[in-house]
Structure formats: C-alpha cells, structure tokens
Structure 1
C-alpha cells in the first residue's frame, strides 16, 4: 500500500463533515503541514511488523458437505495436529470462526469477510496446539457474532442437535452444536452478551465465560473491547477445566490480561460441595419472558446442590434488572465504533492488531454492507445515531454505571461463594422462517439475554451447566462467581455432574 498526501478536495470533504470553515488557502497550508506525518506513514510501510507465531504445519482443510455437516455447525474442517504430548493430547477442538487460524478461511459468519484467510494463529490457538490438541476446524457463528440465536449466519441457520427446528443459540452456535453432536469434546466460544452461555445452555453442554481479562483475545475479531470474552464450551466439566488451564493467562499482547490470576482448575474437580455457599439470585427468576417450568427445573437443580452439601440461601440484587440497560449502552456504540467503523479491530488500545483482517473487513464494509444481517445493520444505524446526536453520552454513562453493577454483585458475593439462576429464561426458540418480518428476525436474535449480558458488563465468571430438559430441549443452570474464582465454579459443576450420573 502506498500512502499519499490528501488532495484539496479530500481535505475539503473532511472539513465540511466536521463543520470546519476553511478556505482553499487554509486547506493548502494544512496539506503542506501533513508532509512530515505522511512521510512517517510511508516509513511504517517499509518496516516489518512482528507476527503472531505459526508453529505447527497444516493443510488448508475444506468446506464440509451437507452430509458431513447435518447441523450446518461447521464452517470449515481441518486436522491441525499440535505437540505430541500435553494436557490436551488426544483432544480435538473446534475454534469459533471469529478466531484466526493461519491458512484456514475465516468468515465470522459474515459476507463482509468472505474469502479472508488469516496468516496468523490467535494466542489461544497456539496454546491449544502446544498443549497437544488437534484443531478440528472452524465452527460456524452468527453474522459478526451479533446475535444470541442461530439464524443470522451468512452460511445459513445452525441447527440444534436436540431438535433441528430450533435454534442452537448464539453467537457461538456452531461451537455448541459440534460438541452436543459428539463431533468434538471441546470448542472455543466468544461471549459479549451471552454467546458462550446461551448456546451451551440450549444445546445441553458446559460453557464457561471466564472473568474479563483471564483469557487473551489476541488474534480474534472483537465486538467491543470492554465486554469481549473467550472461553471453553465442552462436553464435561473436566474438559472445561483442561481447556481453561491451557488458554488462560497473560500473553503480553492483550492488555486486559495483565491482571489475570490463574488457578489449578483440575484440582477443583471431585472436591464436592461441602462448605460452599450458593446464593439463589431472586432477580434471576420470574422475568416477564420466563418459562415457569424452566424456573422450576433450575430451582430443583439448586436444591440438589443443597442435598450434596452446599449451603443455599436467597440473595436479592435489584441492580441485576439494570444490567441489560447498561449493557445496551456499552455495546451499541462500542460495537459500532470498534467492530464496524473500526474495521474489526478499533484503535487506541496497546494490543496486537491483525492488519490483514482489518484490511479485508474494510473492503467488505465498502462493498458488501448491504449483505450484512439485520442485527448488524441495526447496531450500525443505532450506534452511529447515538454517536452523532448524543456525543457518546450513553456509552459513557453506561461505562460509569458498570462500576455500580459490578459492586452490587461483589457485595452479594461477600456473603456467598456463587450466585445461581437459570442461564436463559426459556428453552431454545424455533428458527424463524427465512421470509419472516424484520421485527421477528431481530427479536428472536436478541430476546434471551436478561441473565447473561449483565455479567459481560461486570466481568464476573459465569458457568452454565446442563440441569434438565423441557419437551426434549435442554435447560441450563448458571453459576456466577467472584472475579478469577473459576475454580470454585468448576468445583460446584463437577459435584453436580457427578450427582447426575
């Protein structure tokens, strides 16, 4: 790429956008003042930047046929083998398709990135390979991950293995479906509003959103810096503990991980529940959209924790009801600025930037934005409206209020070790018809997050575990702990899983 001085017409267009009253002589003067900075940009083009390492050989893989992919859950199949030994030896792992795997196509569920092939491995991918894992492929996801259901992906709806007429949940729907179908025991997901926990709950698997900053997102496409999380989605609690052990910890490139505190997650397995205090979150039940039977199943699961040795009491956190409003204020402008206008990477963060992904996404934004999902269009229009007409007020106020939300949970967690509630207030919804009204399309994508999105804002770890079924569809119980106390959640999940056997 060659950087050039702007033309007078280009500067005039920019000045008019911001209401600057500049004559042609002014513009010419500013143009001359830009020669030094533009020369620096030209020099940057000649310097060689560091790249994330690619340590294990691989073939590019292939797009699976419908016969091999009955739930439309795989975007791409591979077999990238890692080290000959390690904690994940013998384990195959699916990678959500917003995470870079070198030499393997990455679409992030969107036509805006169609045809892009990264040249880097994300940090979490390298760690999996170094631990002896095998990358089995890229799991399909929602269009730019902005949906909690599974009907917005550019490659078509992802089908729930328990009932193919129903959603897997999203945005990590492919990750949940390939684990639930038994294709792989482990997968990586991302979570900005519930995107690990919703599909894990609706597909009946184990899904852990770690504490914000515990797992690096280096080499992944974000939505919004302050709510981005990456974590394990697995067939068992033990597999969650194994995968989290491998991927957690500071990597030197994601500043969010500087304060990460890892733990011995495998040691938490099999410890039982004696002495653990569980707080039943009153506000996690009885939402207007709640299914009473889902509430009943979750309460029965909590009762079984008490029968296994935990101390159970009710906890009231009225601020929980404000969580979705605070989340909306953060993610709408955050996503519009970082994911869309920021060309998939944003700026002003001292982190690693995948330039090839940024450039590919910029081309897609320029040429294929009309092909984006209705949810992506909504986020762009509303986020930009709030930015232009309210000067980031609501994003800023929501960021300030997140402190109060976090503190409300922290205060309750002084008296109990974890909070418990239904993960999603209802079971998996039917996949809408292709010609459904936009209102149905959007509502079905975003109507399930009352209990999940507050913890993306507060950053607390949240673990969904399968706890029952209604009409053949899984129900999830969500356990929420103190920051960086994932081991306690794994301890409780392990005891619950053992009791079910």
Structure 2
C-alpha cells in the first residue's frame, strides 16, 4: 500500500489531540518535516514481512452447524495432520480460537473479527504438529477472551456438556467442553484471569496455567502481555503433562519468555505425595460467594492427599486477596492499551507480531456497540483510569505486584504447594438472551476470586476435578513456585489415581 502523507488539517488535528497548540506556520513547518519520516514507513511497507513458513498442509475446513457444533463448542472444523511420529502421535487436539492456525478462520469469539484468516501458525500449534498431533479444528472462545462464563461468545453461547443451558466456563469455553465431551483428546486454552482453569473446573477436566512465559505466546491474540498465559486442557493429568512438555520452552520470538526450558513433566507422575508440604489457603475458602458444598469437596480432597502422605496445613495468605485486587488496573488498563487501542499488537517489546491481525482488528471501532458487556465495562474502567489518573494505578499495581511476588517466593520456601477451590461455585445457569447488563457481567466475572491472583503472580496453577455438587463438577486448584509444574503434576497424579472423582 502507499503510505499517505497527512494533510495540514490532519496534522493540526493530531497536534491538538496531543495537547499541543501550533500556529498555522508551525503546522506547515512540521508538515514539511514529516515526509522524511514517512518515507521510512514506505520503505518498510515495500519489504516482505517476516512470518514463519507453513510446514503442514491443511484444507480450509468448514463452519459446523446443528449437532456438529457440540453445543456450540466448535467454531470451525479443519483437520491438520501432524508428523507421522512423536509424543502426541495418535492424539486429537482442538485449538482455542484466539490462536493462529494458518489458513483457518479465527474470530476470537467476536463477530467484529469474523472473516480474519491467519497467515502463519502459532508456535504452540507448530509444536503440537511436530509432535504428531492431529488438529481437528478451532474451539469457540468468549468474545476477545474476556469472560469466565460461556455466554459471551459469538454467535452463540457454549453449553456445558454435562448439562445443557449451564455455563461451560470461559474464556476457553469450547476447549474444555470439547475435551469433556470426548470430541478431542486434548485442547489448548489461554488464561489471563482464569480462562483455562475456570472451564476446566466447570466441565470436570484438567487445566494447567503454566508459569508466566514458560509457553510461548507467539501467534496468539493477546489481552495484556504481563498476564497472558497459554496452557493445556485434557481429561487426564498424564495427558496434561505430555502436552505441556510439547508446547513449553523458549521460541526466541516472545518477549514474555525468560529462557526457561521445558521439563520431563511425565517423570513426576509416579512419585506420590509422601513428604510434600501443602498449605490449605484459608482466603481461598472465604470468598463471599463460596458454596459450602464446594468448599467441603475441596477439603475432602485435601484430606485424601494427607492420607496419601502429604503434610497438609491450614495457612493464611493475605496477599492472595491483594493479588486479585491488583488484576483490576493491570488487566483493565492493559487490555485497553494492547488488545483494543493497540489493535492486538504490542509496543515496547521485541517479538513476532501479526500485522494482518492488527490491520483487521482495528475495525472494532466501527462496531464497538457489538462488543460484549464484560469487555465494554473493562474498557471503560481502563479508559477512566487512563484519563483521570494518567495510568498511575496501573503503574502502582505493577509495583505492588513485585512485592506480592516476593512474598510468594518466601512462602514457597516453606510449602511445596498451595491448595484451594479453583472456583467458589459450580457451573451456573446461563443468562437469557434478554438479560440485563448487570446479570451478563455478573455471570462473566463471579467466579474469578481465586484464579485471577495467579495470573498476577505468574505462578503455575492447575484445576483438577475432585467431586460433584448436584451432578456438576467441582475443581480444586494446586499452585506451586515458578517452574514448579512437576510438583503440581506429582500431586495431581497421586490424587487422580486414588479417587473416582465422579463418585464423590
């Protein structure tokens, strides 16, 4: 394309928007100077973009209808066959629809992005294919991934496979629902406030949010780089460990990563829990909307781990609640800056950017009325924080985050794991199509009281099922020090082998 020069009137308007006062002759002076800068823009536009080469052939696929959607959990069906051998050979996988699969449509749960087709595979997609997996398609997700409920996805809500009309959880709603329904063996999800662990808990599957930066986010549409995580959703702990082994480790293109290699997580699965020190986090059981039946199921799971040889001790962690509070300015102002005003791109960091996504997503401004209520609310909070306070609360929250992070590092000197309910509730009934804004937002955010804290601290956290209430799954959450995924898998496998959670 041709990089167009602004008119003098446009330049004057730009100066005004930047709180500058320019005289007419000054506008002319700046107009004469800006052309040299835009010549560099034109040179960059004339160069080919740098994107990974496509290595596995695929057909465009199709958008399923009716029963083929599996309760609206499938957004797009498209098979991509991976390598003929590897750790995931013979396994089928669904990819959350904020993750690039080249040649396959991606709308990130929002009609405002419908029609966008990525040109390159995300690193995690390439890694699953290199390991022999077969991708079956894209799993529906909530609109721009900003809901813990499954009622904000376009064009229709995702139903819990265990009870139609009830939430599958969000924002990786389709990923968890497809695994729970047996449509695929595994799925990839993303987690910024609980979006892997929430649907895993509601649907009765295993969801891991790894240490921040362990899994590359290259080729995924972000919310906010400091809370972006990608992780595996599976039916078993063993499969979860296997998938994390495949997708973890630096790719050299994601500034979130700090060089941590993947580990042999499967090696931890048969170690048992004898001698592990587990802290039962009191604040995690004290959320205002905590269902007593959920709390008791999780306490019973803690007693099972104790019988298996772990030392389980009640523990107060005041910074748990503080970490959740920090999410508000970090998440709201951050998502406004990066996902919306930044059109899904990132400034001030090195990494592979999806230029075509930025080009396509910028049109959200023409369709803002179609955005979900939960996204609109967070955007308005973020904009108010930016306008009224100049970003000071985002900055201060990031500063306090460092102190909270250090407090957790000290805590894990005394404990191997923390344990609490993943969510205070089981899957709730989805709001009606004509529900009020207040109800839509409540169903989107009511469950994040425990999960969001560990997106802020970046610690690895897993949800695994530990029983049912009225036939709906309950999740317990295990949290470890940074890069303590193996300890989580060690305890989760021991618990999984010891119980039939669906009978509890």
Q: Pairwise mapping of residues 80-99 of structure 1 onto structure 2 (< 5 A)?
A: 80-99=80-99
Q: Is 1:471 aligned to 2:470, yes or no?
A: yes
Q: Pairwise mapping of residues 178-217 of structure 1 onto structure 2 (< 5 A)?
A: 178-217=178-217
Q: Pairwise mapping of residues 233-252 of structure 1 onto structure 2 (< 5 A)?
A: 233-252=233-252
Q: TM-score, normalised by structure 1?
A: 0.98
Partner of residue 436, structure 2 = 437
Computed over aligned residues only, the root mean square deviation of the Cα atoms, in angstroms, reads 1.0
In structure 1, what is the Cα distance between the partners aligned to 2:319 and 2:366? 43
Q: SS at 1:413's partner residue? A: helix
Deviation at 1:294, TM superposition (A): 0.4
Q: SS at 1:429's partner residue? A: coil
Q: SS at 1:239's partner residue? A: helix
Deviation at 1:267, TM superposition (A): 0.5
Deviation at 1:321, TM superposition (A): 1.4
Partner of residue 358, structure 2 = 358
Partner of residue 127, structure 2 = 127
Deviation at 1:243, TM superposition (A): 0.4
Q: Pairwise mapping of residues 53-452 of structure 1 onto structure 2 (< 5 A)?
A: 53-363=53-363, 365-452=364-451
In structure 2, what is the Cα distance between the partners aligned to 1:384 and 1:31? 30
Q: Which moved more, 1:376-385 or 1:238-247?
A: 376-385
In structure 2, what is the Cα distance between the partners aligned to 1:63 and 1:4? 38
In structure 2, what is the Cα distance between the partners aligned to 1:358 and 1:412? 41
After superposition, what is the alpha-carbon deviation per residue over 1:251-297, rounded to whole angstroms, capped at 9, x for unaligned?
00002223324221010112111121111111111211100110000
In structure 2, what is the Cα distance between the partners aligned to 1:425 and 1:53? 44
Structure 1: gaps of 5 or more residues? none
Partner of residue 30, structure 1 = 30
Q: Which moved more, 1:352-361 or 1:10-19?
A: 10-19
Q: Which moved more, 1:272-281 or 1:297-306?
A: 272-281
Q: Is 1:491 aligned to 2:490, yes or no?
A: yes
Q: SS at 1:120's partner residue? A: coil
- 8 Å CA contact retained: 2:73, 2:175: yes
* Runs of 4 or more consecutive aligned structure 1 residues displaced over 4 Å after TM superposition: none
- 8 Å CA contact retained: 1:59, 1:78: yes
After superposition, what is the alpha-carbon deviation per residue over 1:356-379, rounded to whole angstroms, capped at 9, x for unaligned?
11101012x132221111112112
Q: SS at 1:68's partner residue? A: helix
Q: SS at 2:66's partner residue? A: coil
After superposition, what is the alpha-carbon deviation per residue over 1:341-360, rounded to whole angstroms, capped at 9, x for unaligned?
00011322101100011101
In structure 2, what is the Cα distance between the partners aligned to 1:106 and 1:59? 14
After superposition, what is the alpha-carbon deviation per residue over 1:355-407, rounded to whole angstroms, capped at 9, x for unaligned?
011101012x1322211111121122221121112100111111011112212
In structure 2, what is the Cα distance between the partners aligned to 1:70 and 1:313? 42
In structure 2, what is the Cα distance between the partners aligned to 1:331 and 1:72? 28
In structure 2, what is the Cα distance between the partners aligned to 1:212 and 1:326? 16
Partner of residue 19, structure 2 = 19
After superposition, what is the alpha-carbon deviation per residue over 1:88-139, rounded to whole angstroms, capped at 9, x for unaligned?
0000110000000000000000012110011110000000000000111100
- 8 Å CA contact retained: 2:101, 2:118: yes
- 8 Å CA contact retained: 2:70, 2:178: no
In structure 2, what is the Cα distance between the partners aligned to 1:116 and 1:291? 41
After superposition, what is the alpha-carbon deviation per residue over 1:229-262, rounded to whole angstroms, capped at 9, x for unaligned?
0000001001101100000000000022233242
Q: SS at 2:492's partner residue? A: helix
Q: TM-score, normalised by structure 2?
A: 0.98
In structure 2, what is the Cα distance between the partners aligned to 1:94 and 1:370? 30
- 8 Å CA contact retained: 2:333, 2:391: yes
Q: Which moved more, 1:408-417 or 1:434-443?
A: 408-417
Residues 366, 286 of structure 1: CA spacing in aligned structure 2 closer, same or farther, 3 A cutoff?
Answer: closer
Q: Which moved more, 1:264-273 or 1:252-261?
A: 252-261
In structure 2, what is the Cα distance between the partners aligned to 1:79 and 1:262? 27
Q: SS at 1:368's partner residue? A: helix
In structure 2, what is the Cα distance between the partners aligned to 1:425 and 1:408? 24
Structure 2: gaps of 5 or more residues? none
Deviation at 1:324, TM superposition (A): 1.8
